[in-house]
Amino acid sequence: MTALSERQTEPARRLPAVLRARVGAYVALTKPRIIELLLVTTVPAMMLAARGWPSLSLLLLTLLGGTLAAGAANVFNCYFDRDIDRLMHRTQKRPLPMGVISPRSALMFGAVLTVSSIALLAATTTLLAAALAAGAIFYYAVLYTMVFKRHTRRSTEFGGVPGAAPVLIGWAAVTGSLDWPAVVVFGIVFCWQMPHFWALAMRFKADYARADVPMLPVVTSELSVGRQTVAWSWVTVAVSLLLWPVGYGQGIGLGYTVAAAALGAWFIVEAHRLLRRIARGGDTKPMQLFHVSISYLALLSVAIIVDAIV
């Protein structure tokens, strides 16, 4: 091959790599790891509503619609938070702060995902599921990102509403309505978010302070955060145990309750360990609770699924 032909084919070789990088940047805007965690709670809600396995097509379409909706909310979050993200070490390499994607392109991408998710859920599941998805996108993108996160120490509590919305969307996709078991599972996920996100915020406290974001660990003492973390861990477990009497007619029984109690004990013990480390001073290791909280929610979701099937 001559030098000329090599120079001519070089751009063609680079094109796939550039395209992959571009697609990867758009995917990164949707925060796929967060979406995975949200979808973990959609499946057990759907199975409770269906008292077993819903149809495979309904399950897959609901998960796809939920993925698009959560992705849309996260894209808008990246768009509105691009000034904050530039200041935080944890987020400054996201596509918008790095200039890989323009703000206008990100905004258009979020709009496309929003319309796609709502249209898909409305056409293939129920209008209530589509309306809940639309409400969750608006709440997270506008109310949480633009108002609560920047102006109140209670942003995590306010942000817990859209974070637990996939439960309601999943239930509504099956039944076209809402019922008390869905409310209880929503409550579990809502309460769980406080210990989960405060542990993360403790780890990146300096980042939030640098960006002037009034997360609880920034504006109050570690001891206060630790105590509130323990309190919300207890509340999470208490709400999880309510699912037995409330969800008995949906197939929830003793198996789930034993699992919820055991997992809850693990979660609470880890929260108390964090509080003890805070009281003693030194390295508080908040990410230990953060990782335990993820495992707790995932395993609790499995327990709901197993009981709904069995």
| Residue 139 · residue 87 · CB < 8 Å | no
pLDDT of 2 strictly over 60: no
The pair of structure tokens assigned to 191 is 């309460």
pLDDT of residue 37: 80
Proportion of the chain above pLDDT 90, given as a percent: 82
Residue closest to 72 by CA, chosen among 6, 26, 15, 13: 26
Mean pLDDT of 269-290: 94
The pair of structure tokens assigned to 263 is 């997992």
pLDDT (tens digit per residue) in 61-107: 999 999 999 999 999 999 999 999 999 988 999 999 999 999 999 99
| Residue 263 · residue 271 · CB < 8 Å | no
From the candidate CATH numbers 3.40.50.300, 2.40.50.140, 3.40.190.10, 1.10.357.140, the one assigned to the domain spanning 22-175? 1.10.357.140
DSSP symbol at 264: H
Alpha-carbon distance of 257 to 111, in angstroms, equals 42
More confident residue, 293 or 22: 293
pLDDT of 16 strictly over 80: no
The pair of structure tokens assigned to 210 is 């640098």
pLDDT of residue 4: 45
Confidence of residue 18 (pLDDT cuts 50, 70, 90): confident
Question: In sequence order, what are the residues at sequence separation of 6 or more whose Cβ sits closer than 8 angstroms to the Cβ of residue 198?
Answer: 156, 215, 216, 217, 225, 228, 229, 286
pLDDT (tens digit per residue) in 183-206: 999 999 999 999 999 999 999 999
The pair of structure tokens assigned to 59 is 């399950």
CA atoms within 13 A on the CB side of 19: 6
Instruction: State the burial class of residue 283 (Cβ atoms within 10 Å of its Cβ: 0-12, 13-18, 19+).
Output: exposed
pLDDT of residue 38: 79
The domain spans of the chain are 22-175, 179-310
The pair of structure tokens assigned to 138 is 């608006």
pLDDT of residue 1: 47
pLDDT of 180 strictly over 70: yes
In the chain, the amino acid numbered 28 is: A
Alpha-carbon distance of 288 to 73, in angstroms, equals 28
pLDDT of residue 158: 93
pLDDT (tens digit per residue) in 110-141: 999 999 999 999 999 999 999 999 999 999 99
DSSP symbol at 215: -
pLDDT of residue 63: 96
